[in-house]
Amino acid sequence: MKRRIQRLRHLLTAQNIDALLVLNRINYTYLTGFTGTRGYLLVTLDDSTLFTDFRYTEQAASEMDESTVVRELGLDWLDILAAAIKEKGVETLGFEKEHLTYAMYQSLAEKLTPVKLVPLDNPVGSLRVIKDEREIALIREAVALADRAFSYILSVIRPGIRENDIALELEYFMRREGASGKSFDFIVASGTRGAMPHGVASDKIVETGDLITMDFGCIFQGYCSDMTRTVCLGKPSADQEELYSLVAEALKVGTAYLKPGVIAQEVDREVRNYLAAKNKLQYFGHGLGHGLGLEVHEPPRLAPGSGEELLRGMVVTVEPGLYIKGFGGVRIEDVVVCHEHDIEILTQSGRELITL
């Protein structure tokens, strides 16, 4: 945690910022280890202080190391926070512009005069994009949990089961195996519902002949997994097999092109070029992938217009899909980590079309 805060201080110094007020829970957890739902982290160039209320003071002390001081807030919490900022001699205070409400901004500006408030664009997120070895190990465990859940669910799916039941079984399995929760609302889209890329699980009954797309993941010690597999209940038609093979090949194209030093949008472009050559690009309407970590969607984005360079320590998903209204859809998604000279595909589940 000390190293992360020190990296943040270098960033602040480069922008002539005296201190940063961190409001986002994921971000203050990343910097301190504190997982409570209410906290305000003040990071100056010399020290760091977490402000929270009496419900969390003991928890904060137990979860954080001694480099961050815990201060209890009362009912006049904003006055306490503003006074502490002034006491530290802060002249220029940065804040996360995505997470400070206008109402709180107005109150702070009034109480902190003449301190200058400076909006910053995701300052902690820019640090989180590069994962250390411990973070990668936790993501690997979360991905392995999802892999095991996929193996399990294959024995559960049968004609007559509801999509919601499949989602519940997936979540229950991963929680039983050590997950603290699901990383997002699971997508289980069968039959023609598979044409909806974000078709969250419904009460639809799964029928023989359906393609079933399952997009799911869990949280393990704070870190997320995210995977998608499409299976067929019963013998697939020739059109279903063709659609699946195109997506499976698109996944190969994307992961083959992905490596450290490549620009994120170029990976997406490579897959789009492949699908365009197959006259199927019109059925691919989302980005190829996204970063993964403490949140299920993080930078970098593998999408048009994404100019980030892929670097060692970045963890991304690769998830091509084709969606045809009135027919259904196919998506396959893997999690990939960038190492110094190559990549590692963390998702171990097979990519062939499974017939149940």
pLDDT of residue 1: 84
Q: Is 193 exposed, middle or buried (0-12, 13-18, 19+ CB in 10 A)?
A: buried
Strands 92-96 and 227-232, bridge-based pairing: unpaired
Tens of pLDDT, residue by residue over 2-31, are 899 999 999 999 999 999 999 999 999 999
The per-type count for the chain, helices as H runs and strands as E runs, is: 10, 20
pLDDT band at 283 (very low <50, low <70, confident <90, very high): very high
pLDDT of residue 8: 97
Residue 191 per-residue DSSP state: G
Which H helix or E strand runs over 335? strand 334-338
pLDDT at 74 over 90: no
Region 276-285: mean pLDDT is 98
pLDDT at 66 over 90: no
String of b and e for 304-327 (b: at least 16 CB within 10 Å)? eebebebeebbbbbbbbbbbbeeb
pLDDT of residue 104: 93
Tens of pLDDT, residue by residue over 102-143, are 999 999 999 999 999 999 999 999 999 999 999 999 999 999
Strands 92-96 and 19-22, bridge-based pairing: parallel
CA distances from 224 to 42, 127, 165, 296 (A): 26, 17, 22, 6
Tens of pLDDT, residue by residue over 292-312, are 999 999 999 999 999 999 999
Domain ranges of the chain: 2-127, 133-355
CATH (one of 3.20.20.70, 3.40.350.10, 3.40.1010.10, 3.40.50.300) for 2-127: 3.40.350.10
Cis ω for the linkage preceding 320 (within 30 of 0): no
Region 95-107: mean pLDDT is 95
CB 290 within 8 A of CB 298: yes
Cis ω for the linkage preceding 114 (within 30 of 0): yes
Can you say whether the dihedral through the CA atoms of 347, 349, 351, 353 is positive or negative?
negative
Q: Which fold has domain 133-355?
A: Creatine Amidinohydrolase (3.90.230)
Q: What is the pTM assigned to this prediction? A: 0.94
Can you say whether the dihedral through the CA atoms of 319, 216, 214, 185 is positive or negative?
negative
What is the spatial distance between Cα 36 and Cα 282, in angstroms, rounded to a whole number?
A: 44
CB 210 within 8 A of CB 240: no
